[in-house]
Amino acid sequence: MDLKKSPVARAWRGRRRSAALAAPRRPLDADDANRRFLLYGVMPLWFVPAVADWAMHRRTRIEDTTGVRESAVHALMMAEAGVPIAMGLLARINPLVLTVMGGAALAHAATALWDVGLADGERELHPVEQHIHSFLEVLPLTALAFLCTLHSDQARATLRGGRSPGDWKLLPKENPLSARYLAGIGLGIGACIVLPYAEEMTRCVKAARLRRGR
């Protein structure tokens, strides 16, 4: 089968032909208000506790305690949050996307427990850091709740097993988000999440090499 000629591939190639989905500055109804809060409230809120958590790891010198092990768990949690976020921003909300998001949220919560278990007794777990974790754990669930509200028909289809032809296909949004918004979110993710945690991993790897070289 030629994947380039499949319906899913054709849908993604034609995604830019659709009008961009807008979030009006003055919400016209509850859906507009929910969409605006999701795009400009919940999404940017992820950046603040992520940077704060990185700062707490740096303050407690993670590189001299749990080191690469815990930093790798942080990278795993970023992937567990990043993949469903990318799907939500680019793909049509359907049972496939909602199922991935729900599974990723559960996996993220389980990994967060593993993360605390690794750090407990190895480095200082300040109450402020634990409070920051609570924000990071609840944001994926908050985003999922808003999406289920905005796409209640798809939420119901998910609960019923998704019987329509396009329910379990990764399709582009019919009205994609604007390039300006996607660029802004991408820049925020790079500056507030990717760069700080890449610096953390680099610091941990260097410290581990120095210990082995002694």
- Give tens-digit pLDDT for 140-158: 899 999 999 999 999 999 9
Please tell me the number of Cα atoms within 13 Å of 60 on its side-chain side.
Answer: 21
Mean pLDDT score, 97-126: 92
Q: How confident is the model at residue 196 (pLDDT cuts 50, 70, 90)?
A: very high
The reported pLDDT for the residue numbered 213 is 77
The reported pLDDT for the residue numbered 20 is 56
Mean pLDDT score, 32-39: 86
More confident residue, 167 or 26: 167
Task: Report yes or no on whether pTM surpasses 0.75.
Answer: yes
First to last CA, the chain: 56
Residue 131 has pLDDT above 70, yes or no: yes
More confident residue, 209 or 12: 209
Mean pLDDT score, 24-45: 78
Q: Please name the residue that has the structure tokens 């409230």.
A: 41
The reported pLDDT for the residue numbered 30 is 77
Q: Please report the sign of the dihedral spanned by the C-alpha atoms of residue 89, residue 47, residue 50, residue 105.
A: negative
The reported pLDDT for the residue numbered 183 is 96
More confident residue, 15 or 195: 195
Q: Within a 10 A sphere around the Cβ of 75, how many other Cβ atoms?
A: 16
Mean pLDDT score, 54-83: 95
Q: How confident is the model at residue 6 (pLDDT cuts 50, 70, 90)?
A: confident
The reported pLDDT for the residue numbered 145 is 93
C-alpha to C-alpha distance for 21 and 176, rounded to whole angstroms: 5
Nearest CA to 193 out of 77, 27, 25 is that of: 77
Residue 4 has pLDDT above 80, yes or no: no
The reported pLDDT for the residue numbered 121 is 84
Lowest-pLDDT range of 26-40, 51-65, 188-202? 26-40
